[in-house]
Amino acid sequence: MPIFFSRYLVSVLPLVYLAGGLAISRSDVQPVTCTLVTLLVLVFSTQLMWDWRGKVLEPHKREHWPEAIAVINQITPEADKIYLAASLIEDHDLVTNPGLLLAGGHTLQEFCGFPIRCQSDDELMGRQVIAVASHRPALSSSQIDECKSDELMVLVARGSKATERWLSQLQNILGASWHVRLHSGKRLGSISVIVARQTR
């Protein structure tokens, strides 16, 4: 698992600007040139921060997790597992190494499942939360066997791209005898609940 993720670059930007300012202040360039370079850096960094805010922060501000759990409790009270398409950069390692130990003593599986795991035990009703990769939708053979024995799968997807990927792949993963239904809307924000049931 890589140590550096590009999404964390934004946290070191203030230090980059300070270092750049220090370099400019110690140079022998003309004040006009110095001012122009500073303005260019400010414009570029403001655009970078704005893009980051729009692509990373805004979608996750519209995630209504308690409502998603309430929908699951209402439509599938019998489900004992919730699969979560985490939509995190780290989740691509879930297929090969879900037990990878991260800082703080949490496994990769626990870390990627946090948005649902942080809900109260009363709301979760003792369900197991299983994080799965979003970028390449897949289940392990043991997970497929568990779904088939339960004749039910509940998957929560974060964002429209993960939802589209899972909807397009779920029938292939589980088979033609499964009926897949999507639950989404304003109540859930950018979260979608996908319920797959095996038909007789």
Phi, psi at 85, each rounded to 5°: -80, 100
pLDDT band at 31 (very low <50, low <70, confident <90, very high): confident
Evaluate if residue 16 carries a pLDDT over 50. yes
Residue 73 within a domain:
yes
Predicted confidence at residue 73, as pLDDT, reads 92
- Do 143 and 133 fall into the same domain? yes
Residue 1 within a domain:
no
147-184 per-position pLDDT tens digit: 888 899 999 998 888 888 898 888 888 888 899 999 99
Provide, for the chain, the percentages of residues in helix, strand and coil under a 3-state DSSP scheme, each rounded to the nearest 5. 55, 20, 30
Residue 92 within a domain:
yes
Contact criterion met (CB below 8 Å) for 179 and 197: yes
- Do 188 and 114 fall into the same domain? yes
Model-level pTM?
0.72
Evaluate if residue 114 carries a pLDDT over 90. no
- Is pLDDT larger for residue 70 or for residue 17? 70
Which one of 26-30, 64-68, 115-119 scores highest in mean pLDDT?
A: 64-68
- Domain with 86, as residue range(s), is 62-198
Predicted confidence at residue 5, as pLDDT, reads 54
- Do 104 and 66 fall into the same domain? yes
By mean pLDDT, which of 3-7, 128-132, 137-141 is the weakest?
Answer: 3-7
Q: How does the average pLDDT of the chain come out, rounded?
A: 81
- Do 87 and 173 fall into the same domain? yes
Which one of 37-46, 91-100, 150-159 scores highest in mean pLDDT?
A: 150-159
- Do 96 and 178 fall into the same domain? yes
- Do 15 and 110 fall into the same domain? no
Judging by DSSP bridges, how do beta strands 128-132 and 191-198 pair with one another?
A: unpaired
- Do 106 and 182 fall into the same domain? yes
- Do 188 and 103 fall into the same domain? yes
Predicted confidence at residue 2, as pLDDT, reads 46
Mean pLDDT of 191-196: 94
- Do 74 and 116 fall into the same domain? yes
Residue 74 within a domain:
yes
DSSP state of 185: S
Q: What tokens does 189 get?
A: 């924000």
